[in-house]
Amino acid sequence: MLIETEPTPNPATLKFLPGRPVMDAGTRDFATPEEAEASPLADALFGLGDVTGVFFGRDFISVTAAPGVEWNGLKPDVLGILLDHFSANMPLFRQGSAAGFSVPPEAADFGGDNPEDADIVAQIRELIDTRVRPAVANDGGDIVYRGFDAGKVYLQMQGACSGCPSSSATLKNGIEQLLKHYVPEVTEVRAV
């Protein structure tokens, strides 16, 4: 089995491509060792001690190294864990963990969108799903819609995009400009 690696815009994160599907649908972000307990694979990666984030995409795994850790030393250990996991066809999640669902409930931080903005929100979600998320997935991450309020769109960056030095530029110069162009009611995009 060959697992390819790709750099991401975040120098602390590498994208690993096992050549087979990772998630059947959606994504899953593990930001702590406690969250990773739901997945034998994420748990093993955090068990290396030098990993601070694991993200499962449709056909990739992004792994974030701790500050000061060089990928030269960590990469062989990560590859070993991934090879063992996929060669043995181990489950991605522990049974009964309810961990198989993808992203957290949408707009959880904002208590729901105003029903009067339903058309605007539908346009924003469609643009994010069709134009933004595929591009962000290419960089080893995901972006999740969190809410719309008074012209402001709230988005959550995950995987390689979370904590990436260029994520604020991506939000302002890329996503914000795209949304403003197609949805004039959008005045600003903010990360949560």
Q: For 139-170, how does the pLDDT look when each residue is reduced to its tens digit (9 = 90+)?
A: 888 888 989 998 999 988 888 777 776 777 77
- For the chain, domains (ranges, CATH) are 4-88 (3.30.1370.70), 115-191 (3.30.300.130)
Alpha carbons 53 and 178: distance in angstroms, whole number: 29
Q: What is the pLDDT of residue 84?
A: 94
Q: Are 55 and 49 in contact (CB under 8 A)?
A: no
pLDDT for residue 109: 47
pTM: 0.75
pLDDT at 81 exceeding the cut of 50: yes
Average pLDDT for the chain: 86
pLDDT tens per residue, range 57-77: 999 999 999 999 999 999 999
| pLDDT at residue number 65 | 95
Burial class (CB in 10 A: 0-12, 13-18, 19+), 56: buried
Give the mean model confidence (pLDDT) for residues 108-120: 74
Q: Using DSSP, state whether 61 is helix, strand or coil.
A: strand
Give the pLDDT confidence score for residue 43 in this predicted structure.
96
Token digits for 164? 């990436």
- Residue, of 105 and 32, whose pLDDT is higher: 32
Is the pLDDT reported for residue 23 higher than 80? yes
Regarding beta strands 28-30 and 141-149, do their DSSP bridges make them parallel or antiparallel, or are they unpaired? Answer: unpaired
**Which residue type does 12 have?**
A
Alpha carbon of residue 114 to chain centroid: 26
